Structure formats: C-alpha cells, structure tokens
Amino acid sequence: MPKKKKSSVSSNRKYHYYRKHKITPKPLQPAANNSVIISPQDVNDFTSVKLSIKLRDDFIPQVHVHNKHLPIDHDICKSVPQTLQSVEQLVGFLQNFSKYEVCTGNFDQEFQDIIPLCSVSTHPKSREISAFRESDMGASHENFRYISTIRSVNCKLLCLKSTKQWSSRWKACCIYRCSLKSIKSRRERIKNRKET
C-alpha cells in the first residue's frame, strides 16, 4: 500500500490552502478575548516579564516587551491582520515570536553613567528625545545578566534571532552606540584636561 504524502503548508500560504480545500478556519470564541499570554525570564532567581500578549475585546492583539508597547510598524504586527479572526491566525501570530529575541540595547557598564536610570537623553540642538535608559528587567544575553540598558528611542524591542555575536541589538541601538562612544570619549578628554 503506497504511503500517503505528508502535507506541508507554510504559515504564509494557509489562507490559500484553506480556500482550495474548502476548510473553514475555526473562529475565535468570545472567551478568548482579554486573554493574556506571558513569557517570563528567569535569571539567577530573578523572575520578570519579558513579553506579554493581550487579546482585546475586539480581538486586536496588544504586545508589550519589557513593559513597553511593541510598535505597530514592527514586522510581527505587519504579518497578521490587525484583528485576528481565527484560531489559525492566532497560532500563526504566536509562532512568529519564536523567531525573535529582545534587543539587548547597550548594556555595557562603561555607558551606564551617561544616562541616569529611568531617564532620557535629548539631542543637544533639537531637544528631541534620542534615547532612554531602561530599568532592571532581569534581562540576560548569552547567560550574562545585565542590570540596565540604554535604548534608542527608535528601538523596536524585538529583533530576529541570529548566531552572529551581538546581532541581538536593533539597528537603531547600534547607531546610537556610536553616540555613546563619542560622549564617553569627549568626557574623558575633558577630564584629562582638568587633571593636567
């Protein structure tokens, strides 16, 4: 008896698959609204909320990373309809998060004195906020737990996982890292002039 071929349907082709085979996706039930999914992070007996996903009354998902709202222009938000209408869409939406990790920002100890804890940094000319220092979220990177980190105001919080070292930093935070280095270097020059 010949073996049946396994059906392999990628998540981005499910809609067309359902239409072709006349399968009706299971709709979300009212009991699913206001549900909250939490992803904790536990490092050295310190537990905090890394990620939370709430399904509102209208089935619009709200995502928070380190207690900050995930930008609506993030690729994850663009990958699904604004309002989830079926269990399959919800599962596909949740599966997307396995491809991402939290941006580490700039947690180097040498930069932490530049911006006080829970404070912001503004552009010297425009006075617009350019970065902020995040409080202790119990976060870690490669088994190293960092107390605080400095993020660009344009950080989108989640970046694609990669095997490359320090690739877990969002592009905007990488760019602002250059600013941190410049500020640190300028402060050291001023300090050296005063000591001489």
SS3 57: coil
Q: What angle do CA 174, 93, 66 make, to 5 degrees?
A: 45
Please tell me the distance from the alpha carbon of residue 126 to that of residue 60, in angstroms, as a whole number.
Answer: 36
The residue-averaged pLDDT of 12-35 equals 50
Q: What is the pLDDT of residues 41-96, one digit of tens each?
A: 665 666 667 788 888 777 788 888 888 888 888 888 887 777 778 778 888 888 88
| Contact status, residue 52 vs residue 77, Cβ threshold 8 Å | no
What band does 126 get if pLDDT is binned at 50, 70 and 90?
Answer: confident
pLDDT higher than 90, residue 3:
no
Give this prediction's pTM.
0.69
* 3-state secondary structure (DSSP) of residue 53: strand
Domain boundaries, the chain: 24-102, 109-157+170-190
What is the pLDDT at residue 151?
Answer: 93
* pLDDT at residue 48, rounded to an integer: 65
Q: Are strands 46-55 and 61-65 parallel, antiparallel or unpaired?
A: antiparallel
Report the pLDDT value the prediction gives residue 174, as an integer from 0 to 100: 92
